[in-house]
Chain A
Amino acid sequence: MSTAELPKAVDGPLTFIDDRLGSTTFMKRNLKKVFPDHWSFMLGEIALYSFIILLLTGTFLTLWFKPSMTDVIYHGSYVKLDGVKMSEAYQSTLNITFDVRGGLLMRQIHHWAAILFMAAIMAHMLRVFFTGAYRKPRELNWLIGLGLFTLGLLEGLFGYSLPDDALSGAGLRITAGVIQSIPLVGSYIMFFLFGGEYPGQDIIPRFFTLHILLIPGIILALVTAHMMIMWHQKHTAMPSKDQAETHVVGYPFYPVFMAKTGAYFLFTFGVISLLATFAQINPIWMFGPYDPAAISAGSQPDFYMGFLEGSLRMMPNWETNLWGYTIPWNVLIPALVPLGLVMTGAGLFPFVERWVTGDQRYHHVNDRPRNAPTRTAIGMTGVVFYGVLWLAGGNDIIAYKFDVSLYATTWFFRVAIFAGPILAFIITKRICLGLQRSDAATMAHGYESGTIKMMPNGEFIEVHKEPEEEQKAVILSKEEPKPSLPARDENGIPAPATKGLLGHVRARLNRAWHIDNITVEEGHGHEAEGADRELSKGH
């Protein structure tokens, strides 16, 4: 930056600041920070920008929203609810919708941003998982991400409950039921949270505080930590010609990435506004105020809570009676098991993978999903598990729109929740190996160019071309697994890492992780197929 031409009025204060904060060197260093270019790296940014939009629109909404469960009789401008008894919270949301200028738009932006926030977090997490970007040294940020996802779920649940309409009331009722189902302490926690019997007078004011203060505060802190760690560690990068573990290739933050990300903020804001303008969301005036006696067909939570709804819907009605207590498996299992499985599994995964593969190195270059077939297959298993639960949460809509029996869908999902993930694992792994095989073939005798040549003897052949440098680099980014440790060395002494039950399990898992590996190497002109047979039998 040349400050030489700056007028004195600008230069003076700048020098003042710089003398005290030393910001020029700080800026110089950070403005040159390099950002790699790949579309999937922008998914996290959608979440970040949606969160900013949530903060802004949420603040607007707090100006008019009244978190109170006091009963009132409505006589406002929405004639269809004239004379109806409702809570002040619901009434104030109606007022935001129909009387506050721009209020409905703000509500809709807030809600669409919430949907995109959660969807983007999920997509971002999948990207990080499937490319192995969570590997050392980025495990901490992976865990923070999981925390953000969980907090987002809670934040959404609380926000959804605030307007106190018929659907959010149904959601609250389920929440209360789930809390109550926790053995021994459930009823106490519920009484504590709701300040007495369900629904009571306290829950909306309490959720309000959590929704606008506590949880956004924690999210903000975690997002900051997330970004600072990322800044410090730099982005991972997709494999390419110039990429190496020792440096990042990309564009400097200023001006290139800043311009791009600034534009992307505007894109995010634009898409959310587009949705908020043209697609109605959460029409609480149609749902009516919360009324314990009323329930509508198609009562669903927002999509990110859908998997919990789904697991409740497909669970058989089991209960046990133990010493006078009822243990409601029918609520307990669906509420805790799927979430527990997905979150615990995701949280432990980086560490388990490191333990199994014995890979303690730093990784800054991502894996292509096909080159880590076991990880990719496990990921798809999780996705399908979650997806089945999610679909099951909309089973009534599916039954209605596709004209199938509601019971049939329930049974379908009960089978699919077990069969689907297993199938997904097998199929994904096969697809990955197939892609590896085609990579190996490309390296061995070039790629099919689509050009047909006629030989002097009249034979037609397709010309195979040597792949470009860039393509070669991408394909060769695959790491060949080191042969796993022999259980015993030539003197019959067991290797220390394979001793004991744990060591045994580890050796087994290690073999399973790399089984059917296909070697991809620079062309020796031999048949890739044969080579891979050899290798998988080799150890």
Chain B
Amino acid sequence: MKWFTAWRRRPWAGYAVVLVALATIGVVYAGFSPRTAQATDSSASADDLAHGKQLFNQNCASCHGPNAEGTRDAKGNAIAPSLIGVGAAAVNFQVSTGRMPAMNPGAEMPRKTPVPVFNPDTIQVQYPPNATEEQKKALRQAAVDKNLNDIQAYVESLGNGPSVPSADQVAPANDKVGLGGTLFRTNCAQCHNFAGQGGALTYGKYAPPLLQSTPTQIYEAMITGPEAMPVFNDTTITPEQKRAIIAYIVQTRSEANPGGNGLGRIGPVAEGLAGWLVGIGLLVLAAMWITAKKPKKLKKQHD
């Protein structure tokens, strides 16, 4: 725990502790309030299912078909795949990362800001009079949670698939980060790069950077295997190992670069570029300056 002692002495450590304490109080308070308790309830009522279907029809049916059976164009090529049996985790991953509803299907569905009904920052909610900013935010979050839960429940009701992991399941296993790193390098780095910066795949596809994914989304990506990414089920990578990987990703992206600027953490290409542009560039300027300086006293001499 050497790093912890060192960290504690940093000037901002005090503020950080206060912030964490405030946040914890907020979470506990929210946990006791009845509204969110309802939203996290996983057993869906008929009302919820109906609400889920309604959301689906409004946002998704245009591509995935009215019964989520998938759609095809005139030539018989799939426009959007069937969602029967993909499970709640896939829906949660796709919708919470903003990938779905898709905008213009291309080689790759990019991560983007979720549409308002699934976005805690932009969703429209009726606030009670005199609600504070804090309360408004909690209300918006609750509304989004409910929408997500309902649409997940609806897709789940069409056929079972992997369910959304609980907070415990995705908690980073910080004591196993070494193992997580090893697993990440053997299973993920070939697509996502050693530091999770992303990389190119074939046919115009790419593996995105993992800089914004929440632990839940990382877990879901592993169990659902979106697009070109393989599925890592519990036999290939155990749930415990998944938490180790999550710890590795989360720690790596917040880790400082001890050697200065990380140059995008993409490896030797950026280093070569910096060597030529900055290194040789500066030295050529220096050479021009030095050779342009004429000594005052010495006249030009002939050998």
Give residues in A with beta carbon < 8 Å to B: 32-34, 37-43, 46, 74, 77, 79-84, 97-98, 104, 108, 112, 115-116, 119-120, 123, 166-167, 234, 242, 247-249, 251-252, 256, 260, 263-264, 267-268, 271-272, 274-283, 286-288, 291, 293-304, 306, 394, 396-397, 399-400, 403-408
Residue B33 CB within 8 A of the other chain: no
| Set of chain A residues within 8 Å of B303, measured between Cβ atoms | 32-34, 234, 247-249
Q: Majority SS of interface residues in chain A?
A: helix
A299 vs B199: C-alpha distance when bound (angstroms): 10
Alpha-carbon separation in the docked complex, A104 to B265 (Å): 17
Across the interface, A42 reaches (CB within 8 A) one of B179, B266, B268, B287, namely B287
What is the distance, in angstroms, from B21's C-beta to the closest C-beta of chain A?
25
Residue ID in chain B nearest A272 by CB atoms: B279
Contacts of B2 on A, CB cut-off 8 Å? 77
Kindly identify which residue among B272, B291, B295 contacts A115, using a CB–CB cutoff of 8 Å: B272
Most buried by B among A38, A40, A248, A406: A406
B272, A302: Cβ atoms closer than 8 Å: yes
Say yes or no: is B170 at the interface (Cβ < 8 Å to chain A).
no
- Given known A39-B291, A249-B300, contact A271–B274 (CB-CB < 8 A): no
Please tell me if the beta carbons of A294 and B275 are within 8 angstroms of each other in the complex.
Answer: no
Kindly identify, within residues 271 to 289 of chain B, every residue whose CB is under 8 Å from any CB belonging to chain A.
Answer: 271-276, 278-280, 282-284, 286-288
Residue of chain A at shortest CB distance from B248: A80
Chain A residue with Cβ nearest B108: A403
Contact at A37–B291, with CB atoms within 8 Å?
A: yes
- Residue of A with least CB distance to B266: A298
Q: A39-B287, A396-B199 are in contact. Are A104 and B275 (CB under 8 A)?
A: no
The answer to whether B199 touches A298, judged by C-beta atoms less than 8 angstroms apart, is: yes
Q: Judge whether A294 and B257 touch: CB under 8 Å.
A: no
* Cα A82 to Cα B182 with chains together (Å): 11
- Tell whether A46 pairs with B200 under 8 Å between CB atoms, given A84-B182, A260-B290: no
Give Cα distance in the complex from A393 to B192, angstroms.
18
Q: How near does chain A come to B254, taking the closest CB pair, in angstroms?
A: 11
B279 touching A275, Cβ below 8 Å: yes
**Contact present for A166 and B271 (CB under 8 Å):** no
Nearest A residue to B177, CB-CB? A80
From B258, B269, B292, contact of A298 by CB (8 A): B269
Question: Is there a chain A Cβ closer than 8 Å to B206's Cβ?
Answer: yes
Chain B residues near A276 (CB-CB < 8 A): 260
Q: Hey, which chain A residues are within 8 Å of B293, CB to CB?
A: 260
Given contacts A264-B287, A306-B272, 19 further A-B contacts (CB under 8 A): A40-B287, A79-B177, A80-B181, A82-B178, A83-B178, A83-B179, A242-B300, A247-B303, A249-B302, A278-B260, A288-B185, A294-B186, A295-B189, A296-B190, A297-B198, A297-B199, A298-B193, A300-B269, A302-B271
Q: In the complex, what's the smallest C-beta–C-beta distance from A461 to chain B, in angstroms?
A: 35
Closest to A396 in B: B200
Contact A115 B189 (CB under 8 A): no
Are A291 and B182 CB-contacts (below 8 A) given A279-B261, A300-B269?
yes
For the complex, is B129 an interface residue (Cβ under 8 Å from A)? no
Q: With A46-B280, A400-B206 as given contacts, are A80 and B178 in contact (CB-CB < 8 Å)?
A: yes
Residues of chain B with a CB closer than 8 A to A280's CB: 257-263
- Asked whether A260 lies within 8 Å of B291 as measured between CB atoms, the reply is yes
Least CB distance, A396 to chain B, in whole angstroms:
5
Q: Which residue of A lies closest to B274 (CB)?
A: A279
Those of B172-215 within 8 Å (CB) of chain A = 177-179, 181-182, 185-186, 189-195, 197-204, 206-207
Write the chain A residue with the least CB distance to B293. A260
Neighbour of B302 across the interface among A39, A247, A291, CB < 8 A: A247
Q: Is B255 an interface residue (CB 8 A)?
A: yes
A267 touches B194 (CB 8 A): no
Using CB atoms, name the residue of chain B closest to A405: B204
A287's contact among B194, B286, B287, B298, by CB below 8 Å, is which? Answer: B194
- CB nearest to B298 among chain A residues: A256
Complex contact A42–B200 (CB within 8 A): no
Contact mask B240-268 → A, CB, 8 Å, 1/0? 00000000100110010111111101111
